[in-house]
Amino acid sequence: MRVLITGGGGFIGRRLAEALLRSGTVTVDGGAPQPIERITLFDSVAGAGHPQDERIEPVTGDITDRAAVEGVTARADVVWHLAAVVSAAAEADFDLGYRVNVDGTRTLLEALRGTGRRPRVVFASSFAVYGGDLPPVVGDEFHPVPQSSYGTQKAIGELLVADHSRKGFVDGRSLRLPTIVVRPGKANKAASSFASSIIREPLAGREVVCPVGRDTAIYILSPRRVTEALLRAMELPESAWGVHRTLPLPGITTTAGAMVEALQTVAGPAVAGRIRWEPDPAIQRIVETWPVGADARRARSLGFTDDGTFDAILLAHIEDELGGASAIAR
């Protein structure tokens, strides 16, 4: 199997590549696991820190560059499409967001269509597609009314994936991802970036500003669970998707304040004391347009799971990224 991950130099792409390397196989469409020959990590940023493995092939290119994209789709059997301009960046630069998130997705789908092999593609969409007058818990059939350019671009991406699938050009599957917490490394330009920073930075001994109020609710999933979900989306047989090519994922609902309380319990008051609460109206406004819960019944019935509690997410982060509680900067 030849795997292509667009945005493969990013946070989730890297986690996914590591998981694929660990298993050594990819399971497609309900079949038997097949050995991985190569994983192409396509990204506009030539990154260091790719997993060191002979099966990894980093390729630097722009997702809107048809020739560059055709170069990598020509030799891909399965694709995870993760390349994107994230929420606050897409809101700040309207043209860039549409270019990468809409034109880039279309470029990829057209290149896959051009292979004539009807490749399978899993697209990372987002709960940012929802907005407007939201119920406390969004049902599977709740109508997306995005209230940000990023959410609009992701909703367009879902429709493009669905229509290219309906026409038989690709076998596409879109997952609506909750906010993924805890993101390691540096903060990115997602409006949800605070949900990771308020945990990651204090644990590393650094002070951090939380740009939303303590009561701000957020719907989250861990890096472990999202990686499993991306694999599961590829693995499910096409019959499980039918005409509904988009699946909202299960997550858990918490608040910024509850996350910091959990941090205090696990790491102590000195660590939790490194957070300064300074709400930023622009970030608060974007975050408040997102739903804070979903029943995700269909995803659960198809074997997708959440983390259960925020404590579980926090402990997994300490184990996976810090190597255990002894590395906490108390």
Ligand X SMILES: NC(=O)c1ccc[n+]([C@@H]2O[C@H](COP(=O)([O-])OP(=O)(O)OC[C@H]3O[C@@H](n4cnc5c(N)ncnc54)[C@H](O)[C@@H]3O)[C@@H](O)[C@H]2O)c1
Calculate ∠ Cα 324-328-330, nearest 5°: 150
User: In the complex, what is the shortest distance from the CB of residue 179 to ligand X, in angstroms, rounded to a whole number?
Assistant: 4
Contact between 86 and ligand X (CB under 6 A)?
A: yes
Compare residues 22 and 186 and give the one whose CB is closer to ligand X: 186
For residues 32 and 67, which CB has a smaller minimum distance to ligand X in the complex?
67
Contact 152, 146 (CB under 8 A): yes
Q: Which of the following is catalytic: 98, 130, 150, 219?
A: 150
82 binds ligand X, rule: CB under 6 A: yes
> Could you say which of 84, 121, 234, 272 contacts ligand X (CB under 6 A)?
84
Query: Can 150 be counted among the known catalytic residues?
Result: yes
Which positions ≥6 away from 81 have C-beta within 8 Å? 6, 7, 105, 108, 121, 122, 123, 124
β-sheet bridge partners, residue 123: 81, 174
Q: Is 306 in the site for ligand X (CB under 6 A)?
A: no
Name the residue whose CB lies closest to ligand X.
10
Selected binder of ligand X within 3, 88, 100, 252 (CB under 6 A): 100
CA distances from 169 to 12, 26, 109, 313, 325 (A): 26, 21, 8, 38, 48
| Per-residue contact string for residues 21-60; x = within reach of ligand X by CB under 6 A | ----------------------xxx---------------
Under the binding rule (CB under 6 A), the answer on residue 291 touching ligand X is: no
233 binds ligand X (CB under 6 A): no
Ramachandran sector of residue 125 (left: φ over 0; alpha: ψ -120 to 50; beta: rest): beta
H or E element in which residue 139 lies? none
Which residues partner with 5 through β-bridges?
41, 80
Please list the active-site residues: 150
